Amino acid sequence: MSNEKIQAELEKYEADLKKTTAKFPLRPNVPEQGLYTPLDVEGGDYAEDLGIPGQFPYTRGVQPTMYRGRFWTMRMYAGFSTAEESNKRYRMLIATGASGLSCAFDLPTQIGYDSDDSISEGEVGKVGVAIDSLADMETLFDQIDLGKVSTSMTINAPASVLLAMYIAVAEKQGVPADQLTGTIQNDILKEYAARGTYIFPPRPSMRLITNIFAYCSKNVPKWNTISISGYHIREAGSTAAQEIAFTISDGIAYVNAAIEAGLNVDDFAGRLSFFWNAHNNVLEEVAKYRASRRIWAKIMRDRFGAKKDKSMKLRFHTQTAGSMLTAQQPDNNIVRVALQTAAAVMGGTQSLHTNSRDEALALPTEESVSIALHTQHIVAHESGLADVIDPLAGSYYVEAMTNRIEKEAMEYIKKIDEMGGAVAAIEKGYIQKEIQDSAYAWQMDVESGARVIVGVNKYQKENEEPPKDLLKVDASVGEKQKKQLAEVKAKRDNAAVKSALEALKNACEDEKENLMPHILTAVKTYATLGEICGVMRSVFGEYEAHTSL
């Protein structure tokens, strides 16, 4: 059918549409355009815009076979209470089919404090596992062969310390650092913009990140040195286009910082990875993932002159949307997570964590975690979605949506560039305000009923009782952790600890020194996370949030 014929048919359709909507008005909050045709994707260049899976611009996926060869890594995020309790959960996950681990750390660990610090009171082991020293890390991975498992660690400000502990544990197991596989999140810019678990100001934080890039490129070459995270930006309320725009802008800042530190782009870019949210709008999410790959490939080739294919491939982990889980009718969350899983798979994720039905109420029980993991198994083996590559390619709607999201994201990236980059945009409060405005608009739609959340503002149950089998962290965890920490401090060689911390302080004061070898030395003496971060605080200072909205 010619474009002229399509246009003529559309004019007839519009006339029919007016008659129909006069009787049956459209639902609130549906997109203005409801029908897509070849006219919505005309003018595109297949080779430049889509291409073949595994080839530039990687819109259709970063691997030639995608899941036809092997499935994505099923990486379940877990961690709570003590290292002993989390170790039990990790071994259960491996036994029930998880192909990778993802570590959640408690709040004191995330902001660089030991469990015996007064600021940690009441927070030890609550939202993740407490890690104070190498002794805890040894317990966390007891009976888990680090040469055979890929581990992701959601840690940012103290990422260098946790990575050093992981390397040290592997060394004790007889696993050389160059054989370790996994990821540290290590994305501090999104902490300033959307999450808040920062320690140091931006400049020394960027130094730590580039130090990790340089150290791992030589010593831990299979490790993903950063997971540039849009997940938390989306959780804070951004749109799909904002999620990838603000995150890719952060990625640009990290690449610039590494190049300014003297690294060659092709020496480190292949170990950069991204972390996306899987939200509820399935088709929009698929388009978002496809657009993000295309944008990154073009930026790495055209802006940074990357030559290696690996440097241009946007590889990403996905987690289903925690913010979309509801405390009301929590079993409905199983369906939400299944849809989000389908979106991530159709969009070509490299690894995936599926949230559990009860996480809006508490840390998940083993039963809930098993359902979440088996959701991935069912999608992998029973849905057919993993049998073909980029199954929604060619859909007029999905291709048009991919183009729209790319256009919107690039407009944001251009504006952030004009401000001086992501760090400057964060300092000015621009990114924070954009996220806040989007979050407010979403909430207004929910409260008005324009956006339906099943069980929350429609189809509610009267006198609903919360589930009774929720996981509760023992209140004595903090005291137990303090006791174990005191034992570690009593047994270690405190002269060696003092010497290692003094050497680290001297290295911090020399801006040209790579801090990773000094942190690794300190970790091996059983210097604690709080002691190591305390030394860096004494030199770098602490970041204080401020915005100019």
pLDDT of residue 155: 96
- Residue 262, number of CB atoms within 10 A of its CB: 9
Other Cβ atoms closer than 10 A to 510: 9
d(CA 501, CA 491) in angstroms, rounded, equals: 17
User: Is 295 exposed, middle or buried (CB count within 10 Å of its CB: 0-12, 13-18, 19+)?
Assistant: buried
Answer whether 300's CB lies under 8 Å from 249's CB: no
pLDDT of residue 546: 62
The one-letter amino acid at 136: D
| Omega before residue 57 within 30° of 0, cis | yes
Which structural domains are found in the chain, ordered by start? 46-448 (3.20.20.240)
Give kind and range of the element (H or E) at residue 371. helix 366-382
At 355, the amino acid letter reads N
| Unique residue bearing structure tokens 């300092």 | 427
Percent helix, strand, coil in the chain, to 5, is: 55, 10, 40
CA-to-CA distance for 85 and 490, rounded, in angstroms? 24
- Bridge partners (DSSP) of residue 228 are 274
Q: 223-224 and 226-229: which strand pairing?
A: unpaired
- Cα 467 to the chain's mean position, in Å? 29
The model's pTM is 0.90
- Torsion sign, CA atoms 108, 220, 514, 419: negative
Instruction: Say how far apart CA 184 and CA 378 lie, in whole Å.
Output: 28
Residue length, the chain?
549
pLDDT of residue 549: 45
DSSP string, 116-147: TSGGGTTTTTSSSB---SHHHHHHHTTT--TT
Q: How far apart are CA 279 and CA 234, in angstroms?
A: 9
CA distance 283 to 279: 10
> What are the strands of the beta sheet with 272-278, ordered from one edge?
223-224, 182-184, 150-153, 100-103, 73-78, 351-353, 316-320, 272-278, 226-229
**C-beta contacts of 472-479 below 8 A and 24+ residues apart:** 472/362, 473/80, 473/81, 473/125, 473/126, 473/363, 474/81, 477/81, 477/82, 477/124, 477/125, 477/130, 478/115, 478/120, 478/121, 478/122, 478/124, 478/125
Neighbours of 502 (CB within 10 A): 12
Render pLDDT for 6-28 as a digit per residue (tens, 0 to 9).
999 999 999 999 989 998 998 88
The pair phi, psi for residue 227, each rounded to 5°, is: -120, 100
Distance CA(131)–CA(145), nearest Å, equals 19
The CB density around residue 408, as the number of other CB atoms within 10 Å, is 17
- In contact, 140 and 498? CB cutoff 8 Å: no
Counting as low any pLDDT under 70, the low residues of the chain are 546-549
CA distance 113 to 107: 9
> CB of 160 within 8 A of CB of 208?
yes
Residue 306 carries which side chain, given as an amino acid letter? A
pLDDT given at position 548: 47
Determine the Cα–Cα distance for residues 167 and 464; give it in Å rounded to an integer: 48
Neighbour count for residue 540 (Cβ, 10 Å): 19
HEC string for 372-422: HHHHHHHHHHHCCCCCCCCCCCCCHHHHHHHHHHHHHHHHHHHHHHHHCCH
Please tell me the predicted confidence (pLDDT) of residue 30: 84
| Per-residue pLDDT tens digits for 106-164 | 999 999 999 999 999 999 998 899 999 999 999 999 999 999 999 999 999 999 999 99
